[in-house]
Amino acid sequence: MPKRKLLLSLLILLPFPILIASLFIGTYPIDPLTVLSMIAKRISDPYGASPWPEVYDTIVFNVRLPRVLLALVGGLALSVSGASLQGVFRNPLVDSYILGVSAGAGLGAALGIAYLSDVPGSVQALSFTMGFIAFFTTYTVAKSKGETPTISLVLAGVIVTALFSALLSIIKFFTEAEKLAGVVYWMMGSLAVTGWGPLSQAAPLVLLGFAVIFLMRWRINVLSLGDEEAKALGVNVERDRFIVLLASTLMVSAFVSVAGIIGWIGLVVPHTVRMLLATPDNRVVIPVSASLGAVFLMVADDLARSVVSFELPVGVITTLVGAPFFLYLLKMRGGSAWK
């Protein structure tokens, strides 16, 4: 038991050293000792004059730090959403985009890039709004006679995703080449943002959604038993399931609206946590998934901006890791999600 508590503590605290190490990485070379000195100086004397060149402060505190924090918040959102939805749907192959959120967000972003690129914040606002519209469309289609069976939600999510993807294809077809490149790049997912604006837009909503799921993680354990068993234990299945779905959509939509579509984290991280800790208990899986999800996306973003001379979309890195893991998962489970 002490070893298990130690392991849990280490996993929960792991994002902090990774966050500091990520501040060392970038195209503009700054010595790691200098970065550490700058952080110590900013903590001890936040309003004092900096002895370093002004460009150092700009790069570390206005470019790298908000980017790394956005990666932390995004990894948390995608992994916790995936873990909670896998519990609710009782399917280990479900990820955070099963409800059609990514297709809706992609359509909203494409509309903003193609037709409202001159309006500040239009891409983020439309992406967030369309992600929620996709979720409510999925939920409404799946609901029948006051209930929303999980299998109906999955099928409705597939249908809504196909519909919104078709609409996205139409938008791309009629978009001029220069703006089409922007749509394609957005769909790949990237954390190449400048300043604190995107983080301030996404972080409050992500943390709100995470707080809701964290408080409900024991109820997710009950929901994972099945509808009949959960009802027998006195749980309001429809209400609790809707709250979890809504909180997951809030987190994912908020992050996707500023960073684009970054896949596989919601699938890879929860499975890694369950295998590592040998437990399906969401009271443990959800907080540890939040930690490892943050680590995963921070490391992936570090690779995206350092592995080659130009910057790769971080969604490419997460896919290169996630796809082989998915194949391994199918191989280990004999092609069945329920084994």
Read off the pLDDT of residues 217-240 as tens digits, 9 standing for 90 and up: 999 999 988 888 888 888 898 999
In the numeric block, which tokens belong to residue 195? Answer: 């300043």
Q: Cβ–Cβ contacts within 10 Å for residue 326, how many?
A: 17
71-75, 96-100, 279-283, 307-311: segment of lowest average pLDDT? 307-311
pLDDT tens-digit readout, 7-53: 888 889 999 999 999 999 988 888 899 999 999 988 888 887 778 88
- Contact assessment for residue 296 and residue 79, using Cβ atoms and an 8 Å cutoff: yes
Asked if 263 and 297 touch (Cβ cutoff 8 Å), the reply is no
Cβ-based neighbours of 38, under 8 Å, separated by 6 or more:
50, 52, 56, 57, 60, 61
Q: Return the closest-CA partner of residue 302 out of 317, 288, 319.
A: 317
Averaged pLDDT, 315-326: 85
Asked whether the predicted pLDDT for residue 339 surpasses 80, the reply is no
In the chain, % of residues over pLDDT 70: 96
Residue 334: pLDDT band with limits 50, 70, 90: low
Higher pLDDT, 140 or 278: 140
For residue 106, pLDDT over 70 is answered with yes
Q: Is the pLDDT of residue 150 over 70?
A: yes
- Can you give the pLDDT at residue 306? 86
Percent of the chain scoring above 90 in pLDDT: 59
Question: For the segment 259-306, what is each residue's pLDDT rounded down to a tens digit?
Answer: 999 989 998 899 889 888 888 899 999 999 999 999 999 999 999 988
Name all domains of the chain by residue range, CATH numbers in brackets.
2-332 (1.10.3470.10)
Beta bridge partners of 147: 144
- Which residue type does 255 have? F
> pLDDT tens digits, residue range 182-221?
999 999 999 987 689 999 999 999 999 999 999 999 999 9
Phi, psi of 147 (to 5 degrees): -130, 155
Q: Identify the CA nearest to 317 among candidates 333, 330, 334, 298.
A: 298
User: Tokens at residue 93, please?
Assistant: 């192959």
Confidence band, pLDDT 50/70/90 cuts, at residue 322: confident
